[in-house]
Structure 1
């Protein structure tokens, strides 16, 4: 393989990796700094779409907002199924979701699986 071909392959691989990374975490710095008013508006919009907040169902780093003390907002939960972190789910499905370890979602914050 020529040097030019090797460099082109590396550039292409980097571009693909960057594109995938931007797709996997679609959170901008501005979204991370949402005001309380903006969060309420987002909640109202999601409710209008038939969504509800469900605590304890998000995987690590995949919560929609408010992951308790030590976190700021979206994608800041530090453990899977963190009880004080929530994710929007289809309305009426939160408390019936089957999770590992006999866990269930809750419409209120939970004290389980909260990092110390």
Structure 2
């Protein structure tokens, strides 16, 4: 291969790597935005964060505790039995 071919090949590979990185970053950002807190559906000990009655994740006392939440895809919470986007 000559020098011009090597440069063209290196440029193409660099462009593909940059494009893949951009796509991965965009997918992560979209996934992060498409979540919501869903109260009242977490199993005991499986909540995602502190509640009014406990200090950290994984400390809910009962299944379906009204102030314990888990993160779910946006729009799913309203379809879950007992689910609410607002703490009770």
**What is the CA-CA distance between 1:95 and the residue it aligns to?**
1.3
- Aligned residue for 2:50, secondary structure, equals coil
After TM superposition, the structure 1 = structure 2 runs for residues 27-42 of structure 1, keeping only pairs within 5 Å, are none
Q: Does 1:93 align with 2:71?
A: no
Q: TM-score, normalised by structure 1?
A: 0.47
Residues 94 and 67 of structure 1: is their aligned pair in 2 closer, same or farther, counting only changes over 3 Å?
same
Q: Distance in 2 between matches of 1:95 and 1:47?
A: 19
Cα distance per residue 1:2-34 (max 9 Å; x no partner): xxxxxxxxxxxxxxxxxxxxxxxxxxxxxxxxx
Q: 2:65 aligns with which of 70, 82, 86?
A: 82
1:52 maps to 2:36: yes
Q: How many residues align?
A: 60
Once the two structures are TM-superposed, the CA of residue 49 in structure 1 deviates from its matched residue by 4.4
Q: Which of the pair has the greater relative contact order for Cα pairs under 8 Å at 6+ separation?
A: 2
| Distance in 1 (alpha carbons) for counterparts of 2:57 and 2:30 | 15
Which protein shows a greater Rg? 2
Question: Paired residue for 1:7?
Answer: none
Relative to the length of structure 2, the TM-score reads 0.61
Where in structure 2 are there 5+ consecutive unaligned residues? Answer: 1-28
Q: 1:65 aligns with which of 46, 49, 53?
A: 49
C-alpha distance in structure 1 between counterparts of 2:76 and 2:67, whole Å: 18
